[in-house]
């Protein structure tokens, strides 16, 4: 029986990490049945935003790198669509696999669906209900171009039903008769797989940064709503610095290049101030294994990242979310993540609340059994009427 040829489209850091779960499951359970071609759009290109993940997470080097790089959204997405379309003409895959909600996801959805290749969307159905957020349009368009949609949470599954997707659809599945699934979260697969490895491979990492377990908070900031408006970025960082000094806790900040660019070009004196503060450690983006260690050993997490919010839950850490809304609404309903936007008073209130927390919080299993990638690949096989392996 011929193999299913799957094109895996990645571009941004979290997509490369997510793709590692699929690559691993193909190697372990589906070799001989599914083959993958990795197309990297080049949306992220710095070593620490891209190569480091291929090396560390044992993902096959991209078969194609479109080298698109940074640009305004329209231009960047257009270049990606052109490049992906060329690859699809050459490779003629059975289906195209997309992750999340970036411009690379959108480009893959447009290029593949226009050529009538079935699109498979991992992390379908997530909504912030804020269409000014660039990712929200990417999500909606990608979902409505897809044939198989894998929703990671109950809330995401319900959102799809709310938009007219029908859980009762039966095969054959097409873009006009799509199938929606409630799966778990593919990043939970990764956390379970890599957490032990991180301890072994990076045993001296915290020491190298002079960090003491439970005596620091982890901060990541990269959303355009926080980085591009300097009043907002200034308020967040000034508030966090004051809190770190007041509570005598270190804040470690592996900052996205976008945030560093804003700080260095538009907030130079604040940047100098932060780099001279004993309570603040601004560091370049770290590898996934290093990030796992930072998450696992911190006291609390402050972030505007989607992935890091969830990982706070995996590692049972309270999380302050520097956004007004979140797609991972179950975390907020659970009381372990607090939405504060960029409001200094709310940041302060939740920080003081979480930093000295004495009562243990509850972290129910919202995100599946750690075998989401296997489930997804099995359903892909079934769509092509191959024998199920599970």
- Which residues have a catalytic role annotated? 222
Q: Residue 269: how many CB atoms within 10 A of its CB?
A: 7
- Closest to 25 (Cα-Cα) out of 226, 254, 146, 183: 183
| Contact flag: residue 295 with ligand UD1 (CB under 6 A) | no
Residues 83 to 142: which contact ligand UD1 by CB under 6 A?
101-103, 134-135
| Contact flag: residue 228 with ligand UD1 (CB under 6 A) | no
Residue 148 pairs with which residues in a beta bridge? 120, 179
| Contact flag: residue 70 with ligand UD1 (CB under 6 A) | yes
Quick note: the x/- pattern for ligand UDP over 192-231, rule CB under 6 A, is ----------------------------x-x---------
Q: How far is the CB of 245 from ligand UD1 (least distance, A)?
A: 29
| Nearer CB in complex with ligand UDP: 304/379 | 304
Residue 327 binds: one of ligand UD1, ligand UDP, none (C-beta under 5 to 8 A by kind): none
| Contact flag: residue 13 with ligand UDP (CB under 6 A) | yes
| 119-122/148-151 β-pairing | parallel
Angle (CA) 146-148-150 rounded to 5° is: 105
| Contact flag: residue 370 with ligand UDP (CB under 6 A) | no
| Contact flag: residue 49 with ligand UD1 (CB under 6 A) | yes
| Nearer CB in complex with ligand UD1: 15/191 | 15
**Cα–Cα distances in angstroms (integers) from residue 156 to residues 97, 122, 168, 247, in the given order:** 18, 11, 17, 37
Q: How many residues bind ligand UDP (CB under 6 A)?
A: 16
Binding residues vs ligand UDP (CB under 6 A): 13-14, 17, 187, 220, 222, 254, 285-286, 288, 291, 305-308, 311
């Amino acid at each position: 029986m011929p193999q299913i040829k799957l094109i895996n489209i990645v571009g941004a850091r979290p997509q490369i990490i997510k793709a590692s779960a699929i690559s691993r499951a193909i190697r372990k359970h589906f070799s001989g049945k599914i083959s993958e071609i990795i197309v990297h759009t080049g949306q992220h290109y710095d070593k620490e935003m891209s190569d480091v993940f291929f090396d560390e997470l044992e993902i096959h080097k991209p078969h194609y790198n479109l080298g698109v790089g940074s640009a305004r959204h329209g231009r960047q997405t257009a270049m990606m669509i052109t490049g992906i379309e060329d690859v699809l003409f050459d490779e003629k895959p059975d289906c195209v696999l997309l992750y999340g909600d970036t411009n690379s996801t959108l480009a893959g959805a447009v290029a593949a669906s226009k050529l009538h290749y079935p699109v498979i969307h991992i992390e379908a159905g997530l909504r912030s209900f804020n269409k000014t957020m660039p990712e929200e349009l990417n999500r909606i368009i990608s979902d409505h171009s897809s044939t198989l949609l894998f929703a990671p949470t109950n809330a995401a599954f319900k959102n799809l039903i709310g938009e007219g997707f029908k859980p009762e659809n039966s095969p054959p599945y097409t873009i006009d008769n799509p199938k929606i699934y409630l799966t778990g979260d593919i990043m939970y697969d990764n956390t379970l797989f890599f957490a032990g490895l991180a301890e072994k491979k990076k045993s001296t990492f915290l020491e190298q940064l002079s960090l003491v377990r439970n005596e620091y908070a982890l901060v990541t900031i990269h959303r355009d709503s926080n980085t591009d408006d300097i009043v907002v970025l200034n308020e967040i960082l000034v508030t966090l610095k004051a809190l770190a000094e007041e509570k005598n806790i270190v804040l470690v900040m592996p900052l996205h290049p976008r945030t560093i660019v804003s700080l260095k070009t538009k907030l130079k004196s604040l940047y100098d101030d932060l780099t001279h503060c004993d309570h603040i450690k601004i560091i370049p983006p770290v590898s996934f294994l290093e990030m796992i260690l930072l998450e696992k050993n911190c006291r609390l997490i402050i972030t505007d990242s989607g992935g890091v919010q969830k990982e706070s839950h995996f590692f049972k850490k309270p999380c302050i979310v520097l956004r007004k809304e979140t797609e991972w609404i179950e975390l907020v309903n659970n009381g372990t993540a607090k939405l504060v936007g960029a409001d200094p008073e709310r940041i302060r209130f939740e920080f003081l609340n979480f930093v000295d927390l004495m009562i243990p919080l509850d972290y129910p299993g919202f995100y599946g059994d750690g075998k989401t990638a296997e489930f997804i690949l099995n359903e892909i096989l079934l769509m092509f009427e191959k024998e199920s392996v599970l």
